[in-house]
Chain A
Amino acid sequence: MDKSAILAEVTEIISDVLDQPDLILGLDTTAEDVEGWDSFNHINIVVACEGKFGVKINTAEIEELRNVGELVELIEKKTLARAAR
């Protein structure tokens, strides 16, 4: 799965969690840019991504995430590592 496919999937997940069907996200979008993306929904977004991509995101990694692009990269890295196993 390449970055743009992951971004599309992540956008879908985030728009489902926030219940905003027409959400458009870029790699540099941050939580502050999006209405309703609070700490409660942030947890749900991470858990939903874990479930969707079959990966586990660690506490330290979550704390370092700054924007959608970094989340996409992290997921890409983890799915590639899993595929290599």
Chain B
Amino acid sequence: MRTVDMYWLPRLSAERDELRQLARAEAVTWNELVKVANTQLDFVQINRVDKLLQKHFAAEQLDDKSVKTLRVAILSSSTADHLVPGLRVAGLRRNFRVQTFLGDYGQYIQELQAPESALFHFKPNVLLFSFHAQHLLGANDPALSFDDASAQSEAIADKISQVWRLARQRFSGQIIQQTILPVYTRLMGSNEHRLPGSAAAIVDGVNARLRPLAIAEGVDLLSIDNMVARDGLFAWHDPGLWHRAKQEISPAATPAYGDFAVRLMAAQQGRSAKCLVLDLDNTLWGGVIGDDGLEGIRLGQGSAIGEAFVSFQQYARDLSRRGIILAVCSKNDTANAQSPFDSHPDMVLKQTDIACFIANWEDKPSNIRRIAEHLNIGIDSLVFVDDNPFERNVVRRELPMVAVPELPEEPALYAQCVADAGYFEGLQVTSDDFERGGQYRANAARESLRASHTDLASYLKSLNMELRWAPFDKIGQQRIVQLINKTNQFNLTTRRYTEKEVVTTMENPKALTLQLRLIDQFGDNGIIGIVIALPDSSDLRIDTWLMSCRVLGRQVEEATMNLVVAEAQRLGAEKLIGEFLPTKKNGMVREHYKKLGFACAAASEDGATRWLLPLENFKPFDTFISIIRSSTRG
């Protein structure tokens, strides 16, 4: 039986010894465990890493604030104990501490309803529902008519969505639903759909119905049916083991199951990667452009290898259409590196697709740092793809926070490898995602305009900026939730809110909510800022203030402040209260309120600060931005 390998992770050197050494050591650091979790481990090794994790880092022993705790409740209709180590180690892999709660199996309805249930006391921020097929289908009659079978699929999907709604009444976190594992043997064969009452056909029907329901209910799916289509049922499920131990997921597949589940949680926490950094020679084309020249590199029709590189480029281009930023990091002369982009007829990627293009002879870790700085995104949101094992290892050693897949030697498998690793796991798509590529191109145009202006003021003036604002609304909702959950750097409090919580705030007439869009002569930057302020006796407390780093240094902070003050005055507030809650990533806004004229009212030991600004004597900042109220988001 084949297993599901996480082949994109590097292998542990002398794996058994290294794990044994850790097992014998009296003290083990969190980072040592994170490092081991980022290697290829089978389920036995995962269980051993989990034991180390539990031994050294049980709940109270970890005081590193940069490690976020996820409280995951697994509500299952079958045995799920064996899934726990895979989930916890997948969390570790991403620097999360995952704490788990296992419902008694089959008892999830009671757990969700009882006011003082153990689940309630656990205070989960993620609910993972895993229901096995027999539990949902019961005794199934294959001879059902088309209409009756269709009604049955509908009823099952509906029953599942009722469980979600029940959960929503008491829990505000992320809800993940595992799709139904298609375990049933087919009765007809390829044309199973002609027997709509067969269990296999019903499961297909339920899974198809779950998708629109999950979108409507704001639930994230763990699409195990897709993984089975890729790996084969028996990589995930062992029918013998099902009868022996009621384990629906085979132990051998639990590391992958944990990783697939935790990547959904990471995406919800804003920790999916944002940028794909590409090497050039033997990564985007075959051969070495500096030696082989434009005519010599292998790319395009006429050679199998050349076609494989084209398909990888197409994958990268499609990722960028989805909102992933592309960058190039290559050891090459710039002119050589750029020539295929400009003149090779089979290049799919053009220079305009690349938001940051670095080709020189310096070491790659320095260049990758430069790319993160240039794009104003966290270095841990980069994925670096390079065919050269030496470069991969250097980058892993110098920049352990950058994801570096072990690329297969076969270029036809590059895209599959990047996809399987799940770095860019996404939960939602917004129109801003589709426009992002263009926005980064416009940034490059702004940079060159800046270079042509001798002083900043005349440059800012020449941009003709408009800050268009509106309270939160249905149209902007998805993007608002996305920004709240993924903005790490310019984020004063890093409070994450679910869609439901955002809607509640949106409907609160006393809350001030702002979505801000910046438009300039190069185009629309999309929604770049979010403010939530809530009444606090006669004052207004700024609960959330976050901005996209794309628009820093353009007076947007000051213009937003003018707007917040004007709105606060309209609401009759006396003072504004600002808060700064430090995280590993938001150091750039430590002085934010000071710069805006607030006085520091309190500072606590952990670095959190509280700020006050009386509104009476506020003098608006001079900026080159006109503030315009938009009736809709546009």
Seen from chain A, the residues whose Cβ lies within 8 Å of a Cβ on chain B are 12-13, 16-17, 19, 21, 39-40, 43-44, 47-48, 50-51, 56, 58-59, 62
Contacts and interface: CB of A to CB of B under 8 A. Distances in A.
Nearest to B55: A19
A51 B252 contact: yes
Chain A interface, DSSP helix/strand/loop, else mixed: helix
B241 interface: yes
Contacts of B238: 47
Given A16-B16, A40-B82, A47-B252, A62 B51 contact: no
A51 B44 CA distance: 11
B43 interface: yes
Contacts of A16: 16, 44-45, 48
B44 A44 contact: yes
Nearest to A43: B245
B243 interface: yes
Interface string B567-590: 000000000000000000000000
B240 to A, nearest CB: 5
B47 A17 contact: yes
A83 B595 CA distance: 75
Contacts of A19: 23, 47-48, 51
A43 B251 contact: yes
A59 B244 contact: yes
B418 to A, nearest CB: 26
19 contacts: A13-B44, A16-B16, A16-B45, A16-B48, A17-B44, A19-B23, A40-B82, A40-B245, A43-B82, A43-B241, A43-B244, A47-B43, A47-B238, A47-B251, A47-B252, A48-B42, A51-B42, A59-B243, A62-B244
Q: Which of B51, B240, B247 has the most CB of A within 10 A?
A: B240
A19 B252 CA distance: 17
A33 to B, nearest CB: 21
A50 B250 CA distance: 12
A44 B251 contact: yes
Nearest to A48: B44
B241 A47 contact: yes
Contacts of A48: 42-44
Given A47-B252, A50-B1, A51-B42, A40 B81 contact: yes
A82 to B, nearest CB: 13
B135 interface: no
Contacts of B1: 50, 56
Interface residues of B, number: 25
Contacts of B45: 16
A44 B47 contact: yes
B24 A21 contact: yes
A51 B3 contact: yes
Contacts of B23: 19, 21
Given A21-B20, A47-B250, A59-B243, 8 more contacts: A16-B16, A16-B44, A19-B47, A19-B51, A21-B23, A47-B241, A47-B251, A56-B1
A43 B252 CA distance: 11
A52 B245 CA distance: 21
Contacts of A40: 81-82, 245
B53 to A, nearest CB: 12
Interface string B209-242: 0000000000000000000000000000010110
Contacts of B44: 13, 16-17, 44, 48
Given A21-B20, A51-B3, A56-B1, A43 B247 contact: yes
A78 B252 CA distance: 20
Nearest to B52: A19
Interface string B554-565: 000000000000
B250 to A, nearest CB: 7
Contacts of A21: 20, 23-24
A21 B45 CA distance: 13
Nearest to B3: A51
Contacts of A56: 1
B248 to A, nearest CB: 13
A20 to B, nearest CB: 10
Contacts of B82: 40, 43-44
Interface string B25-52: 0000000000000000011110110010
Contacts of A59: 240, 243-244
A50 B82 CA distance: 17
Nearest to B251: A47
Contacts of A13: 44
B257 to A, nearest CB: 14
A59 B244 CA distance: 8
B315 to A, nearest CB: 31
Contacts of A51: 3, 42, 252
